[in-house]
C-alpha cells in the first residue's frame, strides 16, 4: 500500500503536456503566492526576453544569409569574368584568323600563278585550332575551379548543419535531456 501511495504522489508531480502534437510528461509547476505575484510581473519580462531572443536569432540568420549571398556573388562574378575572358579569346582568334586569310589572299594575288603551299595553309589551321583548344582548356580549368569552390561551400554548409543536429539536447545524457525539457 505504501508503494501505491508513493507512485500516486510521483504521478501527481508530473503532468502530460501537448506541444503541437508532441505529448510528453513534465513536472507540474507549483504556484505559491510569491510566485503568483512574480508571474504577474514576469509576462512582460518574458515577452521582452522572447523578443530579444527572436531579434538575435533573426540577426544571426540575416548574417548567415548575407555571407551566402556574398559567396554566390563572388562565384557569379568569377563566372562572368571567365565568360568575358573566353569571349575575348575567341574574338582574338577570329581576328588572327581573318588577318591570316587576308595575308594569304595578298600572297595569292601577288604570286598570280603560284599555288599556295599546303603546309602553310595547314600550319595556320593547326595554329588556329591550337589557340581554340587552349582557350577551351582555360575555360574548363576555370569552371573546375568554380566547381571546387562551390563544393567547398556545400561541404561547409553540410558540416554546419550536421553540427547543429549533433548539438541538439536529444543526444545529451538522459538527465540533461529531462532537465532541458522541464526548463521549457
pLDDT confidence of residue 41: 62
Q: Are 26 and 181 in contact (CB under 8 A)?
A: yes
Q: Is 60 exceeded by the pLDDT of residue 133?
A: yes
pLDDT confidence of residue 114: 47
Task: Give the residue carrying C-alpha cell 582555360.
Answer: 138
Closest CA to 131 of 166, 160, 95, 161: 95
What is the C-alpha to C-alpha distance for residues 143 and 132, in angstroms, rounded to an integer? Answer: 16
pTM for the model:
0.38
In this structure, what C-alpha cell is assigned to residue 166? 549533433
pLDDT, one tens digit per residue, over 155-167 is 999 999 888 888 8
82 against 40, higher pLDDT: 82
Amino acid at each position: 500500500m505504501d508503494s501505491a501511495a508513493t507512485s500516486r504522489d510521483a504521478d501527481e508531480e508530473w503532468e502530460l503536456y501537448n506541444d503541437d502534437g508532441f505529448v510528453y510528461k513534465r513536472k507540474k509547476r507549483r504556484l505559491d503566492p510569491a510566485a503568483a505575484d512574480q508571474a504577474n510581473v514576469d509576462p512582460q519580462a518574458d515577452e521582452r526576453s522572447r523578443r530579444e531572443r527572436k531579434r538575435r536569432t533573426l540577426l544571426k540568420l540575416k548574417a548567415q544569409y548575407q555571407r551566402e549571398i556574398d559567396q554566390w556573388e563572388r562565384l557569379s562574378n568569377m563566372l562572368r569574368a571567365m565568360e568575358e575572358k573566353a569571349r575575348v579569346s575567341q574574338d582574338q582568334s577570329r581576328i588572327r584568323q581573318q588577318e591570316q586569310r587576308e595575308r594569304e589572299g595578298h600572297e595569292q594575288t601577288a604570286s598570280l600563278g603560284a599555288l599556295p603551299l599546303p603546309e602553310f595553309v595547314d600550319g595556320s589551321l593547326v595554329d588556329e585550332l591550337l589557340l581554340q583548344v587552349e582557350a577551351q582548356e582555360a575555360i574548363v580549368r576555370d569552371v573546375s575551379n568554380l566547381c571546387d569552390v562551390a563544393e567547398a561551400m556545400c561541404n561547409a554548409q553540410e558540416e554546419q548543419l550536421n553540427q547543429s543536429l549533433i548539438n541538439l539536447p536529444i543526444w545529451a545524457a538522459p538527465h540533461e535531456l529531462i532537465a532541458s525539457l522541464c526548463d521549457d
